[in-house]
Amino acid sequence: MKLLRYGPIGSERPACLDAEGQMRDLSGVVADINGESLSPESLARLAALDLTGLPVVEGAPRLGSAIARPGKFLCVGLNYADHAKETGKEPPTEPILFAKASNAICGPNDDVEIPRASEKTDWEVELGIVIGSRAKYVSEAEALDYVAGYTLVNDVSERAFQSERGGQWVKGKSHDTFGPVGPWMVTKDEFDDIQNIDLWLDVDGERRQTGNTKTMIFGVAHLVHYISQFMTLEPGDIIATGTPPGVGLGMKPPTFLRAGQVVTLGADGLGEQRQRMVQA
Asked whether the beta carbons of 87 and 250 are under 8 A apart, the reply is yes
Q: For 23, phi and psi rounded to 5 degrees? A: -80, 130
Q: Which of helix, strand or coil describes residue 33?
A: coil
The count of other CB atoms within 10 Å of the CB of residue 52 is: 11
Residues of the chain with pLDDT under 70: none
Write down the pLDDT at residue 220: 98
Asked whether the beta carbons of 182 and 4 are under 8 A apart, the reply is yes
- The whole-angstrom distance between residue 56's C-alpha and the CA centroid of its chain comes to 26
The count of other CB atoms within 10 Å of the CB of residue 171 is: 15
**Type of residue found at 135:** A
- Sign of the C-alpha dihedral computed for residues 74, 211, 18 and 205 taken in this order: positive
Write down the pLDDT at residue 85: 81
**Type of residue found at 104:** A
Q: The domain 73-279 is classified under which CATH number: 3.90.850.10, 3.40.50.720, 3.40.50.1980, 3.30.50.10?
A: 3.90.850.10
Residue ranges per domain, the chain?
A: 2-53, 73-279
The radius of gyration of the chain from alpha carbons, rounded to an integer in Å, stands at 18
Asked whether the beta carbons of 262 and 123 are under 8 A apart, the reply is no
- The whole-angstrom distance between residue 270's C-alpha and the CA centroid of its chain comes to 10
Exposure b/e, 70-93, CB count within 10 A at least 16 = b: bebbbbbbbbbeebbebeeeeebe
pTM: predicted TM-score of the whole model, two decimal places? 0.97
Write down the pLDDT at residue 15: 98
Cβ-based neighbours of 51, under 8 Å, separated by 6 or more: 16, 18, 19, 24
